[in-house]
Chains A and B, each alone.
Chain A
Amino acid sequence: NAGVTQTPKFRVLKTGQSMTLLCAQDMNHEYMYWYRQDPGMGLRLIHYSVGEGTTAKGEVPDGYNVSRLKKQNFLLGLESAAPSQTSVYFCASSYLRTGGFEGTQPQHFGDGTRLSIL
């Protein structure tokens, strides 16, 4: 049981290049999230998804796009990378608890992708 797997683990891009970060989870979770983490800034939500085929913007969505064509995968795309997007990117997933308490359940994180843009 791998949990949440992120690929790649490291990447260096040049300004203007594009790339896609892949997140895969094998826990059959409904919810998936993409965060970025910068020193002193904590975790900032980029985009999230509450189910297959649905996505929504978080607090810092500009410059990123996402897709969730399959329940287990959540892709984060950078169309034209900028140095300000140098960061550590974390994917997380959680399940939907029903039956009277639709609370946000604990999030399971991947190991992160360290992205540098020159």
Chain B
Amino acid sequence: GQQVMQIPQYQHVQEGEDFTTYCNSSTTLSNIQWYKQRPGGHPVFLIQLVKSGEVKKQKRLTFQFGEAKKNSSLHITATQTTDVGTYFCAGQAGNNRKLIWGLGTSLAVNP
């Protein structure tokens, strides 16, 4: 079936270091979304990418959608303790009303 692989599963960084998580889909996606879940919380929508090669920025966060629309990345510059949580990517294939979720990358930040 359709899958979205997300790596790494865990990442532990020192505050101020950069962080990147990657998603790779087995199928071409029509769009991809990113969510953040704080420990004990619920997933919160961050951004949606639709166009091939699209790059979007939110302050220290940079999101990219690959040219073939099969991969995506989230890069955080100079991590802060407030970045702690699990980051999920979720892709849509065609007009399917369901999202294909990655397993998430858990980020820990040492102050």
Give the B-binding residues of A (Cβ under 8 A): 31, 33, 40-45, 48, 50, 58, 90, 92, 102-112
Contact = CB atoms under 8 A, between A and B. Distances in A.
Given A48-B97, A58-B98, A43 B33 contact: no
Given A31-B97, A43-B101, A103 B50 contact: yes
B88 A112 contact: no
Given A40-B103, A42-B103, A43-B101, 12 more contacts: A31-B97, A43-B88, A45-B101, A48-B98, A90-B43, A103-B50, A104-B33, A104-B96, A104-B99, A106-B45, A106-B48, A109-B44
Contacts of B85: none
B95 interface: yes
Contact of B99 (A40, A107, A111): A107
Given A42-B101, A45-B98, A103 B42 contact: no
Contacts of A50: 97
Interface residues of B, number: 24
Majority secondary structure, A binding face = strand
Q: Indicate the member of A43, A48, A108 with the most B CB atoms within 10 Å.
A: A43
Contacts of B35: 107
A94 to B, nearest CB: 9
Contacts of B98: 33, 45, 48, 58, 104
B92 to A, nearest CB: 4
16 contacts: A31-B97, A33-B98, A42-B101, A43-B43, A48-B97, A103-B30, A103-B31, A103-B92, A103-B95, A104-B92, A104-B97, A104-B99, A106-B33, A109-B44, A110-B42, A111-B42
